[in-house]
Amino acid sequence: MLAGASARTSLRLGDSVEKASPCREAAGHDFWLTGLQVLSTPGQVQAIRQVRPDHAEGVIDVLLNPKEQVQFLDLGDVGAPLKEGRDMWIIGSAPELLQVAKDIAEALKVPVLAAAAEAVAKQVENNGSTKAATFLIGEELRTVTLLAVPPAQSRVVCKARPDVIAKQMQGKIRGKDILIAVTEENRLATGLAVARCLPPFASKADTPSPADATVRFYGAAPGPMLEKLNHMATAVRLAQGLVDMPPNFIQPATLKEFVLAATKGLDKVTAHVIEGTELRDKGYGGLWNVGKSADQRPPCLIALTHNPSGVSADSGPVGVALVGKGITYDTGGAALKPREGMCGMKRDMGGAAGVFGAWLAAVKCGGLPTGAPLHCVLCIAENGIGPGMFLNDDIIMHYSGLTSEINNTDAEGRLVLADGVAHAVKNLGAELIVDMATLTGAQAISTGKHFSSILASDEVLEKEIVDAGRKSGEGAHPGLFAPELLLSEFDSEFADMKNSVKDRSNAQSSCAGLFIYKHLKHAGHQGRWIHCDMYYPSFLGEYATGYGVGLLCAQLGVV
């Protein structure tokens, strides 16, 4: 960190220079620089790029043009990366791992690799077992790290065990070649799990030189899935970067500009933005009230549509709408969070990041298999504090036509999503509406840290989304879809409903989803609905997971 720099000063390796930002280096003076990028040796700043909340171009460039990529490639010569001077990971269940290691050992005449594989395959722990083999290729030492993945032992856990891959490989694949040796049914989940292990955003002076990771599959060629995996991996890492970036980088305006930049030039795609007081004037009372107090950071609703066949909803609901909660920072508003509860609330836009990543990947993969419209609705705001903030006891009017009596300004996600799903009904005519959000801390009490809590309007749809979770490695488990039992938790004497439950021990996470469902139905929706509360699965340790991209692409039939 430069002398006198505050915690807002940030550094990143490997970017080019556009222009320098003015700063004051005297001790005690605050820097307003963000997004500093190191161009040479660690710790030696030669030039900087301006990346400020009111200058979105730098943020957009970092996200859309990351200095490190995760690339899925054809197998080719299995030992080529080692010959070219790169180290390797081999991952898979014990039998497949043993076979590929023996094949490489034989081809390169390095018996130590086969011996290491036999050792690691003998006893595979529940958290996975690893062993490294180091040997000479020519005059250079190369290392192959073997990860034996244990089998799933229950019907709800993904057989690829992406949780093991995350624990063992997070942050360890930079510059490496990763060889995946798994059965066909586990390729998608394993590939996406590996893609998450190279975090796209960092802000440190001492950062390694950028280096891509390559991923190949041993065995039958993945065929058309290879291109789709590349699109999905890019989308996962994009979602990770959005969530990991701090709130002085990602604010409502910068997120809006990023989304528009990311979709520019896509064929058959249209975008519509409702922003600031226009939300108020058009009746989006939930989104407007949550975001109105954030000074010079107006809330907005973005509606994206991919309609390759030009289908109209005039004759009835058609297509799919993905609706995401995009709270770029959540202070709790008037119901202010304590410090311990506020740190990490940059992640409160994880739902929007997930649905946008899924939508973007799906569009680049050709859209819905049916050719029907695929929409993405992003409800973007900062739940701030200030003179104009909404208050507990306020009554607000939603776009659905229902009113909410506010008894917790920190239960803001459901307020913005109520407007988002109503928009999808009234303006987009979608047959299936999916909302996704980091909605409640109670989600982990219901379904833990590896599974989102989902609600579905029918049993077939519920099974589809659960199966999609197992296929993609992004676990989803049913909550309690029982509006007749739970909606009374929101009873109000003065409005159609309150926004927070009376009894926090009564299926709280499911109740939050049903708040959205009531607005959806009142807006006139006659089709199907999925709700996904994914707060805890949206991050692992300090890093975002990009949750939602794989789950939704699998559920929609993109892969």
Most confident region among 3-7, 193-197, 222-226 by mean pLDDT: 193-197
Domain boundary among 175, 192, 221: 221
pTM to 2 decimal places: 0.90
User: Same structural domain for residues 214 and 322?
Assistant: no
* Of residues 355, 66, 364, the one with CA closest to residue 227: 364
* Of residues 409, 368, 428, the one with CA closest to residue 498: 409
Q: Mean pLDDT throughout 309-330?
A: 93
Q: How many domains does one find in the chain? A: 2
Q: Is the pLDDT of residue 350 over 80?
A: yes
58 pLDDT band (50/70/90 cuts)?
Answer: confident
Which member of 52, 337, 426, 521 is catalytic? Answer: 337
Residues 6+ apart with CB under 8 A from 69: 212, 213, 234
Q: Mean pLDDT throughout 84-104?
A: 95
Asked if residue 470 is part of any domain, the answer here is: yes
Q: Mean pLDDT throughout 338-343?
A: 96
Q: Are 495 and 405 in contact (CB under 8 A)?
A: yes
User: Same structural domain for residues 252 and 174?
Assistant: no
Render pLDDT for 200-244 as a digit per residue (tens, 0 to 9). Answer: 988 888 888 889 999 999 986 778 899 999 999 999 999 999 999
65 pLDDT band (50/70/90 cuts)?
Answer: very high
Q: Is the pLDDT of residue 380 over 60?
A: yes
User: Same structural domain for residues 180 and 288?
Assistant: no
Rounded percentage of the chain residues whose pLDDT exceeds 70 = 90
* Of residues 538, 520, 558, the one with CA closest to residue 436: 538
Render pLDDT for 483-506 as a digit per residue (tens, 0 to 9). Answer: 999 999 999 999 999 999 999 999
- Reading the block at residue 139, the tokens are 């005059």
User: Same structural domain for residues 397 and 498?
Assistant: yes
From 58-62, 262-266, 440-444, 543-547, the region with the lowest mean pLDDT = 58-62
Q: Mean pLDDT throughout 376-388?
A: 96
C-alpha 150/C-alpha 170 separation (Å) is: 17
* 86 is an active site residue: no
Domain boundary among 221, 248, 282: 221
Which member of 161, 347, 414, 528 is catalytic? Answer: 414
C-alpha 49/C-alpha 65 separation (Å) is: 14
Give 3-state DSSP helix, strand, coil % of the chain, rounded to 5.
35, 20, 45
User: Same structural domain for residues 107 and 254?
Assistant: no
Q: Mean pLDDT throughout 271-284?
A: 98
Asked if residue 44 is part of any domain, the answer here is: no
Q: Mean pLDDT throughout 525-537?
A: 98
Report which of residues 46 and 101 the model is more confident about.
101
Per-residue confidence (pLDDT) for residue 54, from 0 to 100: 55
User: Same structural domain for residues 306 and 389?
Assistant: yes
User: Same structural domain for residues 243 and 189?
Assistant: no
Q: Write the burial class of residue 246 (CB in 10 Å: 0-12 exposed, 13-18 middle, 19+ buried).
A: middle
| CATH number, residue 213 | 3.40.50.10590
Asked if residue 154 is part of any domain, the answer here is: yes
- Determine the distance from the C-alpha atom of residue 465 to the mean position of all C-alpha atoms in its chain, rounded to a whole number: 17
Q: What is the mean pLDDT of the chain?
A: 90
- Reading the block at residue 235, the tokens are 């989308």
Beta strands 300-306 and 129-137, pairing class: unpaired
Asked if residue 9 is part of any domain, the answer here is: no
Q: Is the pLDDT of residue 479 over 70?
A: yes
Render pLDDT for 108-145 as a digit per residue (tens, 0 to 9). Answer: 999 999 999 999 999 999 999 999 999 999 899 999 99
335 pLDDT band (50/70/90 cuts)?
Answer: very high
C-alpha 216/C-alpha 298 separation (Å) is: 44
- Reading the block at residue 115, the tokens are 């011996």
Report which of residues 280 and 123 the model is more confident about.
280
478 pLDDT band (50/70/90 cuts)?
Answer: very high
Domain boundary among 172, 193, 221: 221
22 pLDDT band (50/70/90 cuts)?
Answer: very low
* 414 is an active site residue: yes
Asked if residue 3 is part of any domain, the answer here is: no
Tokens 């933005």 found at: 273
From 180-184, 363-367, 437-441, the region with the lowest mean pLDDT = 180-184
Asked if residue 43 is part of any domain, the answer here is: no
- Grouping H, G, I as helix, E, B as strand and the rest as coil, residue 49 is coil
Q: Mean pLDDT throughout 449-475?
A: 98
- Determine the distance from the C-alpha atom of residue 82 to the mean position of all C-alpha atoms in its chain, rounded to a whole number: 32
Asked if residue 442 is part of any domain, the answer here is: yes
Phi and psi at residue 178, to the nearest 5°: -110, 120
User: Same structural domain for residues 73 and 126?
Assistant: yes
Beta strands 300-306 and 269-275, pairing class: antiparallel
Render pLDDT for 242-259 as a digit per residue (tens, 0 to 9). Answer: 999 999 999 999 999 999
Per-residue confidence (pLDDT) for residue 209, from 0 to 100: 86
52 pLDDT band (50/70/90 cuts)?
Answer: low
Cα–Cα–Cα angle for 24, 26, 31, nearest 5°? Answer: 40
Q: Is the pLDDT of residue 20 over 90?
A: no
Per-residue confidence (pLDDT) for residue 59, from 0 to 100: 87
User: Same structural domain for residues 202 and 254?
Assistant: no
User: Same structural domain for residues 216 and 249?
Assistant: no
8 pLDDT band (50/70/90 cuts)?
Answer: very low
Per-residue confidence (pLDDT) for residue 224, from 0 to 100: 86
| CATH number, residue 474 | 3.40.630.10
User: Same structural domain for residues 196 and 261?
Assistant: no
Q: Which domain holds residue 317?
A: 237-556
Asked if residue 18 is part of any domain, the answer here is: no
User: Same structural domain for residues 208 and 339?
Assistant: no
Q: Is the pLDDT of residue 11 over 50?
A: no
